[in-house]
Amino acid sequence: MFSDKTAGMGEAYSPGSPRSVDHRTQVGADRSRRTRTKLIRGAFRAFASHGVDARMIDLVTREAGVARGTFYNHFRTFEEVFHETAKAVSIEIIRIVDPLVRQQSDPAARVACGVSSVVKLAIAYPTFAQFVVRGGPSAVTAGSLASEIVPGDIEAGISSGRFSISDRKLALDLILGPVLMAFHKVLTEKVSSSYPNLLAQAVLQSLGVSKASAQKFAFRDFGKIEIPSDSIFAKASS
């Protein structure tokens, strides 16, 4: 119990049920995993709609549709489920956006694709935007997205001379900062359809890409975002 049983929200991996455990145990474990998933989905919706508050376990279980005590069969504290949820969100973003990003080879194109796609995602799924805005910088910086994927593209862009900036961490802030504010914006007012691309262009420029190149990269056709039906972003499914 309390071990890390979750990988993303889609339950995509099959745990290869060991033949040695009896059927009862297997069934119990399956049920437990499904309940855990419910809880994380509930936490996602609770955070998105109420922000991070010290008193949320009640809300989480209500959103998840499970009994209050059940929470403690899976998590010890509020921070624990918050962290798990932020990780799950990060994994989910990658699951959705990565197929598009990996079609681009130029670091500038990859960053532009990532930035514009994620903003489009926020427009399509306000709950996602709310989660990030309410969670604050912590929600953005948790997970491998901000710690591995984006830094990788920054590194490639600087090495290849595509970006003229030299401070890697500053570069990360120049990407995440505008995206966070964009999320805030899409929640409070309607934005034009070119907004995600204009934002991506500006981000590239801040990294030292020339206006003309930035525009070219930012307005490429990156393809359509596909959201799996089992996604955490999809409306509640008990």
Residues in contact with DNA by CB under 7 A are 1, 23-25, 27-29, 31-32, 34-35, 53-59, 66-74, 77-78
Q: How far apart are CA 216 and CA 119, in angstroms?
A: 18
Going by C-alpha positions, the residue among 222, 210, 224, 231 that lies closest to residue 109 is: 222
Contact status, residue 38 vs residue 66, Cβ threshold 8 Å? yes
Nearer to DNA, 68 or 211 (CB): 68
Q: How far apart are CA 9 and CA 61, in angstroms?
A: 17
227 binds, among a second copy, DNA, none (CB under 5 to 8 A by kind): none
Nearer to DNA, 46 or 176 (CB): 46
Using CB under 8 A as the binding rule, the residues of this chain from 165 to 224 that contact a second copy are 165, 167, 169-170, 173-174, 176-182, 184-185, 189, 192, 195, 198-199, 202-203, 205-208, 211
Contact status, residue 181 vs residue 203, Cβ threshold 8 Å? no
- How many C-alpha atoms does 41 have within 13 Å on its Cβ side? 22
User: Which residues sit at the interface with a second copy, rule CB under 8 A?
Assistant: 53-55, 133-134, 136-137, 141, 164-165, 167, 169-170, 173-174, 176-182, 184-185, 189, 192, 195, 198-199, 202-203, 205-208, 211
